Amino acid sequence: MKFIQYGPEGTPESMRIEEGPAPVPAAGEILIEVHYAGVNRPDVLQRMGRYAPPPSASPILGLEVAGRVAALGTDVTQWRVGDEVCALTPGGGYAQLCVAPARHALPIPGALSLAQAAGLPEGWFTVWANLIGLAHLRAGERLLIHGGSSGIGLTALQLARQVGAHAFVTVGNEEKAQFCRGFGAELAINYRTEDFVARVRDFTGGQGVDVVLDMVGGSYIAKNIGLLRPDGRLVYVAFLQGSRSEVDLMPVMLKRLHITGSTLRPRSVEEKAAIRDALAREIWPGLAAGRLQTHLHATYPLEQAADAHRLMESSRHIGKIVLQVR
């Protein structure tokens, strides 16, 4: 099969097509004929040598795919060869064939295309695990999402809609702000031209927010803590500005705040399967019915994976980037 390899220098220019043996599904796994693979920031970090895959995972990039089931491992009963699925993968998505645990796959929801479906698993597994599993986001609460126009950000906006929360976002330009308003954000702040702390406080009458979903870190850490209401929750999924900051923790005590976060890849098969089951029950019907949305920004052929990574690194995109494999 063909797959994307990258060199030790870790640059987009080092990415190239190579050929190698097809993976074989183990017990409980399915082999997927990949039609599209989602591009995510962890892929960029892995290419740069800053996010090593787990020892048992494929070293090939790619954490989400959509395509057809090509073969079944033993003990797999919920899928048949030929079924169209999208799946969270432990790696290996930038390839013509990929294996994934059968319990991490989901049907293509409704009339969505395979290209659209390829951009669903990583974002929805991540957002559900953090905003529901850790932050316990509830109806009527206020949620601030940093990086609101990213794939994670737009997914979090849709989850807020699903649970009945009020969503605010920060973004890097007015085009992204306008898009997020149309996607469900009640407040969209251009952080390059506005002070997001002042805007949120003004919009909420000084009350602040109940939950912050942050992928920035750095200078945002203290600002996030300052914006949280009593019993508020600060959830981290990445640290684009770094994970270190000097912070006064007294507000954590005074307001009974919770600071948490997680990464998805190291979680066990069972933990991810539980998230998958929750998504199948709570989210996939809304996607199938069109009540929940996704946004595909760009599709690149597999041979142009380097261009897809350059776009991801530039942060010029809105929503998801995928690779067309077949």
In CATH, which of 3.90.180.10, 1.10.540.10, 3.40.50.2000, 3.30.565.10 is domain 2-120+266-324? 3.90.180.10
CA atoms of 90 and 217, how far apart (whole Å): 26
Taking the whole predicted model, whether its pTM rises above 0.85 is answered as yes
CA atoms of 180 and 110, how far apart (whole Å): 23
Q: What is the pLDDT of residues 49-64, one digit of tens each?
A: 999 898 889 999 999 9
- pLDDT score at 35: 98
Assign 186 a pLDDT band (cuts: 50, 70, 90): very high
Sorted by where each begins, the domain ranges of the chain are 2-120+266-324, 124-261
Assign 200 a pLDDT band (cuts: 50, 70, 90): very high
Instruction: List, in sequence order, the alpha helices (H) in 57-189.
Output: 114-118, 121-127, 151-163, 174-182
- pLDDT score at 180: 98
Q: 2-120+266-324 with 124-261: one CATH topology?
A: no
CATH superfamily, with its number, for domain 124-261? NAD(P)-binding Rossmann-like Domain (3.40.50.720)
Assign 292 a pLDDT band (cuts: 50, 70, 90): very high
How does the average pLDDT of the chain come out, rounded? 97
- pLDDT over 90 at 274, yes or no: yes
Q: What is the mean pLDDT of residues 90-107?
A: 98
CA atoms within 13 A on the CB side of 186: 17
Strands across the sheet containing 187-190: 187-190, 166-171, 142-146, 209-214, 228-236, 258-261
CA atoms of 133 and 126, how far apart (whole Å): 10
